[in-house]
Amino acid sequence: GSVIEEVLITNKPLLIRNLNKHAGILSSGWDGYNDGSLIIFPLNNEKGDLTGIICLHNKMPPPFTPQDREIGSILASLCNETLRATHALETLRESEELYRLLVETMNDGLGMQDMEGRFTYVNNKLCEMTGFSREELIGSRIQDFLDEENQKQFRAASAKSTAGGFRPFEFEMKRKDGTSFPVIISPQGLKNSDGALKGYFAVIVDISQRKEDEEARRKMEAQLQQAQKMEAIGTLAGGISHDFNN
């Protein structure tokens, strides 16, 4: 086979000092391989699989030497590391894009906060829920969207979370138009590579529909109880009337 095929099969560097004297070489498609010296280095990924080659062809004397091959192997190793790092960055970028897509299309609000509790990131749903733009929300705090009573509850809930771990809590948040809506806030801590707390993130769920459904169910239950009472009263009245007639 060709010199390139040999490297593809052996996955090892190949040095040919004189192409004219190297028997059995087939052309790889370029006539320049007919003379001079040649070194080919395989490029491998982190699993050792061949991902490419570096081919150096020297048509002028002196020819490549075994020392050139060793130096070239070091350079090829550096190329491998660069390619692996590039691939890792591409993989990370793809993961970040997938994460961003998931966060931006989720049905609940999500916000990230610094150690002072100020938003450093909010998703589209949180903007939609509150009526504020992303620019208006960044730098603000959850307390900014609570009335005085809910701020007291928030401080108490935050103190409990700090003392005994993070737990969900329920509040009334204010929209930009001044109206309020009930939410459940589920906070969690964000840690750095050393495990130290560096901020927070919270999932904020609008439970307006749930509250409306609960209110509707309570009304139906109250109406049912009232109907049952009226039925009982009617039955009792009918019995009393029957007794009088007798």
38 and 15 Cβ atoms separated by less than 8 Å: yes
Nearest Cα residue to 185 out of 161, 209, 163: 161
Torsion angles phi and psi, residue 26, rounded to 5: -105, 150
Per the prediction, the chain carries an average pLDDT of: 82
Can you tell me which residue has the tokens 């699993």?
Answer: 47
Confirm whether pTM is higher than 0.75.
no
Distances (CA, A) of 5 to 10, 12, 112, 223: 9, 11, 53, 85
Query: 119 pairs with which residues across the strands?
Result: 113
Q: What is the pLDDT of residues 203-234, one digit of tens each?
A: 999 998 887 777 777 877 777 777 677 767 76
Give pLDDT tens digits for 91-120.
888 888 888 888 888 889 999 999 998 999
| 161-210 tens-digit pLDDT | 665 567 888 889 999 999 999 999 988 888 888 888 899 989 999 998 88
Q: What is the pLDDT of residue 2?
A: 73
Asked if 56 and 72 count as a contact pair (C-beta separation under 8 A), the reply is yes
